[in-house]
Amino acid sequence: MEHGGSADVAEAPVRGRTQAPSRDGHSCLSRFARRPCKAAITVEVALVQTLGPTGTATAVPAPQNGSAPADPRGATRVDVPPDGVPPDGVPIDEGGSEPAPPQERIDPLAIGARASGRAARVPSQGGRGPDGPSADLLRQYLREIGRIPLLSAEEEVELAKRVEAGLFAEERLRGGQQTDTELALDLDRLVVRGRLAKRRLIESNLRLVVSIAKRYVGRRLTMLDLVQEGNLGLIRAVEKFDYARGFKFSTYATWWIRQAMSRALADQARTIRVPVHVVELINRVIRVQRRMLQERGYEPPAEEVATYLGITAERVVEVLKLAQEPISLHTPVGEEADVDLGDLIEDCDAPSPVESAAFLLLRQHLEAVLSTLGERERKVVQLRYGLGDGQPRTLEEIGRLFGVTRERIRQIESKTLGKLRDHTYAGQLRGYLD
Break the chain into its structural domains and give their ranges.
30-268, 273-345, 355-433
- pLDDT the model gives residue 114: 38
DSSP state of 129: S
- The DSSP output letter for 386 is T
Residue-wise pLDDT tens digits, 135-146: 888 899 999 999
Say whether pLDDT at 82 is over 70.
Answer: no
User: Which comes out higher in pLDDT, residue 101 or 155?
Assistant: 155
Say if residues 212 and 257 touch (Cβ distance below 8 Å).
yes
Closest C-alpha among 124, 168, 159 to residue 237: 159
Assess contact for 210 and 142: CB atoms under 8 A: yes
Cα Dmax for the chain: 121
Res. 157 pLDDT band, cuts 50 70 90: very high
Whole-number pLDDT of residue 4: 40
What is residue 131's predicted lDDT score, i.e. its pLDDT? 53
**pLDDT mean across residues, the chain:** 73
Q: How far apart are CA 141 and CA 52, in angstroms?
A: 18
Residue 310 has pLDDT above 60, yes or no: yes
pLDDT greater than 60 at residue 36:
no
User: What fold, for 30-268?
Assistant: Four Helix Bundle (Hemerythrin (Met), subunit A) (1.20.120)
Angle between helices 223-240 and 206-213 in degrees, nearest 10: 130
Specify the pLDDT at position 418: 84
At 193-237, the pLDDT tens digits run 999 999 999 999 999 999 999 999 888 889 999 999 999 999 999
For domain 273-345, give the CATH number.
1.10.10.10
pLDDT greater than 90 at residue 417: no
Cα distances (Å, whole numbers) of residue 217 to 93, 212, 222, 262, 423: 13, 10, 7, 12, 74
On the question of pLDDT at 7 being above 90, the answer is no
Q: In which band, very low, low, confident or very high, does the pLDDT at 326 lie, cut at 50, 70 and 90?
A: confident
Mean pLDDT of all residues in 41-59: 38
- Angle, helices 302-309 vs 313-322, to 10°: value is 100
**C-alpha–C-alpha distance, residues 156 and 246, integer Å:** 11
> What 3 state SS string does 377-414 have?
HHHHHHHHHCCCCCCCCCHHHHHHHHCCCHHHHHHHHH
Contact 181, 196 (CB under 8 A): no
On whether the CB atoms of residues 350 and 356 are closer than 8 A, the answer is no
Task: Say what the pLDDT of residue 220 is.
Answer: 81
Options 3.40.50.10860, 3.40.50.2300, 3.10.150.10, 1.10.10.10; CATH of 355-433: 1.10.10.10
Q: Is the pLDDT of residue 382 over 60?
A: yes
Of residues 413 and 83, which shows the higher confidence score?
Answer: 413
Instruction: Give the Cα-Cα-Cα angle 164, 248, 206 (nearest 5 degrees).
Output: 80
pLDDT of 38 over the 70 cut: no
**What gap in Å lies between CA 188 and CA 195, rounded to an integer?**
11
What is the predicted pLDDT for the residue at 434?
61
Note the pLDDT tens digit of each residue in 366-375: 888 888 888 8
pTM: 0.49
* 246-299: pLDDT as tens digits: 899 999 999 999 999 988 988 888 888 888 888 889 989 999 999 999 999 999
Query: Residue 132 — pLDDT band, cuts 50, 70, 90?
Result: low
Residue 191 has pLDDT above 50, yes or no: yes
C-alpha 173/C-alpha 188 separation (Å) is 8
Average pLDDT, stretch 344-362?
81
Other C-beta atoms lying within 10 Å of the C-beta of residue 108:
30
pLDDT tens per residue, range 84-119: 434 444 444 433 334 444 333 333 333 333 333 333
| Predicted pLDDT at 97 | 37
Pick 93 or 382 by higher pLDDT: 382
Domains 30-268 and 355-433 alike in fold: no
Average the pLDDT over each of 59-73, 221-235, 271-285, 341-355 and give the range with the smallest value: 59-73
Going by the DSSP 8-state scheme, the letter that residue 245 receives in this structure is G
